[in-house]
Structure 1
C-alpha cells in the first residue's frame, strides 16, 4: 500500500527574535511558529508494514466468536424408543456458512464448515462421525440402549478457510465448537403378551 504525503513546515522564532529568512515575527516569543504553512517536500511512502493484512492467527480469534449454526439433535423413533431397536441420530441445520468481516480495513471472507460431530448418547458413550447423520431409512448414526431415560446432545466441531480482499483461500489455523440443545427420551422394553384370538 502506497500513500502520497505532502510535508509542510512553518517558521519558528529564533532566540534572537528573528527567523532564518527574515520573516517578521511581530515580537513573538522564541519558539513560536509564525507565518503560513509552506510546502517542504512531497513523497510516496510505503505504509504496508504499518497495517499488514490480517494474519491467520488474527483471523482465528475472530473465527472463534462467529455466530455459527447450533445444530439440533434429532432422534428416531421420536418420543420413546424400544430396547433392541437402535435409536437413529441426525443433526438438523446447515453444516456450512459464509461470513464477511471488516478487520482493520481489510475485507475478510470466512467459510465455516462442520468438520466432525460428537454425539453424546447419554449413557456414557460418545460417537464421533464426519457426517451429520440422516433419518431412516438412510441412517448412518445409531446407538443401542438398555431400558431407561436418557439425555443426548451434539457437539459440532467447525473448521474454516478465509481470504483477504479476494486473495486465495487460506486455512483457519484451528477449530471451534458449538453445542446443540439436548433431547431427552425414554427407552422401554416391549414384552410379549399371549392373547386368545377367539376371546
Structure 2
C-alpha cells in the first residue's frame, strides 16, 4: 500500500480554506491632495502597500507555499461611487485613478481582492480556486468650494 493513499497532498479546496485565513495586508487608500480637497479638482487615489505576499505553511506535514497577489482594487469614494481597477494607482504626477467630488465631507476606503497560486513540496504552481478580500482603513476628508475674492492691488 502506498503511504500517500493514507495522507494525500492538500487539495486545492483545502489550500483555499487556509488561503482565506492568511494575514493579508489591509491596504490603505491614500489620497492627494492630503487633507482637504477642492471642488473642480480631482482627488487622486492610490495605495502604496505590498501587492504580493508569499507564505509557507505546513498542512498535514506537507510544505505548502502560497503566493497571494492583489488582483483588483475597489475604491469606495464615499459618495456612492465605487471604482474597480486592476491598478493600485500612483501619486501625482503619474496618477491613474481620480474622482471628482462636490462640496461635502467624504469617507473613502479600499477593498483589495486577492488571488493566488500554491505549490506543495516544491511541485508546479497551481491556482488557488477562489479569492479573498481585505478592507483597508477609511480616510475622511472635506471637499471645499473655493470662492474668488477680488482685491484692489493698490489698496
1:95-114 deviation per Cα after TM superposition (whole angstroms, max 9, x unaligned): 00000000000000000000
User: Higher RCO, 1 or 2 (CA under 8 Å, sep at least 6)?
Assistant: 2
The equivalent residue for 2:76 is: 120
Q: SS at the partner of 2:29?
A: strand
1:92 Cα offset (Å): 2.4
The equivalent residue for 1:40 is: none
1:28-52 deviation per Cα after TM superposition (whole angstroms, max 9, x unaligned): xxxxxxxxxxxxxxxxx31211100
Aligned length: 155
| Distance (Å, rounded) in 1 between the aligned partners of 2:89 and 2:71 | 13
The equivalent residue for 1:48 is: 4
Which ranges of structure 2 fall in alignment gaps of 5 or more residues? none
Q: SS at the partner of 1:160?
A: strand
1:93 Cα offset (Å): 0.7
| Distance (Å, rounded) in 2 between the aligned partners of 1:69 and 1:111 | 13
Which ranges of structure 1 fall in alignment gaps of 5 or more residues? 1-44
Larger Rg: 1
Where do 1:100-139 residues align within 5 Å?
A: 100-139=56-95
The equivalent residue for 1:194 is: 150
1:122-156 deviation per Cα after TM superposition (whole angstroms, max 9, x unaligned): 00000000010000000000000000000000000
Which segments of structure 1 move beyond 3 Å, counting only runs of 4 or more? none
Q: TM-score, normalised by structure 1?
A: 0.77
